[in-house]
Structure 1
Amino acid sequence: MICALGAAVCFGTASVLQAVASRAAAEPGSGAGVDPALLLRALRQWRYVAGLALDGCGFVLQIIALRSLPIYVVGAALAASLAVTAVVAARLLGVRLSGVEWTAVGVVCAGLGMLGLASGGEGHAAGPAALGWWMLGISLGILLIGAGAGRLPEKARALVLGLGAGCGFGVVEVAVRLIDDLSPTALFANPAVYALLLGGGSAFLLLTSALQRGSVTTATAGMVIGETIGPALVGVIWLGDRTREGLGGLAVAGFVVAVAGALALARFGEAPADAAEPDRPTVPGRVRRARR
């Protein structure tokens, strides 16, 4: 659980840096869909690189957590990175959180506490033999859907990009559990390895585009839903994730409370246009932020 919460801290802090860098890297007249060139431009921003370093640390902690905890616990903890982002934005960018938003931060913490009390250990079921191939197919579908998102209206585009990014991160969560044998031969033959790489890469690409275009608040809400609900169901139905005896209701309540609190903080998926200029003072109440 400590690793899961550490991953949330890394991802939440990285998001503040990446949101500002993504906006600074945007070029007028660029397309509305997934833009690989945007990612390359963002990589020239030190904030984006620092965010990637934090993402790397968070990913390692996430893998450790997924080897010990059910997917539904880790997914809810990662969604809670929005609460981390809100607090970091308040501290570093001068954002003023409303009373409702501070309450939402507390709700997220309460939900995670409930999950920590109710969760059992990691499930040990292998799942269907084709599950790794399904994850790989979903990863390919995410990339294709993201490529066509530019032709959608703004609200639908933001939702598709965010939901696609969330599903990509969800594929990573499931794929980690499907990789047991770390020998080179087994890794090469395991479709879950390719699903992990493609799903994670697609998620970052879609998320970088979502941070810069359209309603990122909508995109962030879609991402939270995509990375929590689906993977949690896969873990419970196919991978043997369970709760402690008699505490199933508490686990469900904790999951719902944590995700609902994260969704209440979805406005922190959007960074301010003026935050890309570090010499200009930020305006309290106008700053928005971006996840992972």
Structure 2
Amino acid sequence: MVCALGSAVCFGTASVLQAVAARAAAEPESGAGVDPALFLRAVRQWRYVAGLALDGIGFVLQIIALRSLPIYAVGAALAASLAVTAVVAARLLHVRLSRTEWAAVGVVCAGLAMLGLASGGEGDRTGSAALRWWMLAIALGVLLVGTVAGRLPGRTRALVLGLGAGCGFGVVEVAVRLIDDLSPAALVANPAVYALLLGGGSAFLLLTSALQRGSVTTATAGMVIGETIGPALVGVIWLGDRTREGLGWLAVTGFAVAVAGALALARFGEAPATATATVGTETG
């Protein structure tokens, strides 16, 4: 759980840095869909590079957590990165949090505390070959979502991009559990390895594009839903994730409370326009 929370801190802080950099790198004439060139423009900024470094550290911590905890516990902790984003935005970008938003941060923490008390160890099932292929198929589907998202109207586009990114990150969570043999030959033959790489890369591209322009509150909420609910169900149904004896109700309650608090903070998935303007002044 310490690694899961550390991962949330890394991802939450990276979101603030990357959101500012992505908006500063956006070109007025660029489309609103997935823009691969956006990454090349954003990566020239130190904030985006720092965010990538934090993402790398967070990913390592996430893998460690997924090897010891049920997917539902790790997923809820990752969703709580929005609480970290809110606090970091308040400190670094001078965004004022209302009492309701501070209460939502507290709700997220309470939900995670309940999950920490109720979570058992990770399930002992390794997953079927069919599940591995399904993860790869879903990862490909996430990539396809990005290619059509630009044709959708604004709010629907944000929701589709967010859900797509969340599903991609969810594929990563499940795929980590489906990689049980780290020998080179086994890795090459395991579809879960390709699902992890493709799902993570596609999700990152969709999320970066969602941060490019406009309000991505809906996209962030969609991402939270996509990366928590589906993977949690896969972990319980197919991988044998369980709770401590007699504490199933506490785990369900904690999961629901943590995700609800994260959704209440969904607006912190984007950088405030004033912050972006300040960055533009500094770089100019």
TM tier, smaller: over 0.9
Please state how far the C-alpha of 1:280 moved relative to its aligned partner: 5.1
Matches within 5 A, 1:89-238: 89-238=89-238
CA distance in 2, matches of 1:230, 1:278: 37
CA contact (8 A) 2:34 2:209 kept: yes
The 3-state SS of whatever aligns with 2:107 is helix
Please state how far the C-alpha of 1:146 moved relative to its aligned partner: 1.2
CA distance in 2, matches of 1:70, 1:102: 28
CA contact (8 A) 2:20 2:279 kept: no
Letter in 1 for 2:228: T
TM-score by length of 1: 0.94
Please state how far the C-alpha of 1:275 moved relative to its aligned partner: 2.1
Give the corresponding residue for 1:256: 256
Instruction: Point out where structure 2 has 5 or more consecutive residues left out of the alignment.
Output: none
TM-score by length of 2: 0.97
CA contact (8 A) 1:6 1:61 kept: yes
Letter in 1 for 2:55: D
CA distance in 2, matches of 1:265, 1:272: 14
Identity %: 86
TM-superposition CA deviations, 1:53-77 (whole Å, max 9, x none)? 0000000000000000000000000
Letter in 2 for 1:243: T
1:11 pairs with 2:15: no
CA distance in 1, matches of 2:249, 2:272: 40
Letter in 1 for 2:145: I
Give the corresponding residue for 1:35: 35
CA contact (8 A) 1:67 1:122 kept: yes
Compare 261-270 and 212-221 and name the one that shifted more: 212-221
CA distance in 1, matches of 2:146, 2:160: 7
CA distance in 2, matches of 1:214, 1:20: 12
CA contact (8 A) 1:136 1:191 kept: yes
CA distance in 1, matches of 2:72, 2:172: 13
Give the corresponding residue for 2:23: 23
The 3-state SS of whatever aligns with 2:211 is helix
Give the corresponding residue for 1:287: none
CA contact (8 A) 1:139 1:171 kept: yes
CA contact (8 A) 1:142 1:168 kept: yes
CA contact (8 A) 1:175 1:195 kept: yes
Letter in 1 for 2:107: V
CA contact (8 A) 1:72 1:255 kept: yes
Please state how far the C-alpha of 1:212 moved relative to its aligned partner: 1.2
Give the corresponding residue for 2:51: 51
Please state how far the C-alpha of 1:274 moved relative to its aligned partner: 3.6
CA contact (8 A) 2:20 2:275 kept: yes
Give the corresponding residue for 1:289: none
CA distance in 1, matches of 2:203, 2:88: 23
Give the corresponding residue for 2:279: 278
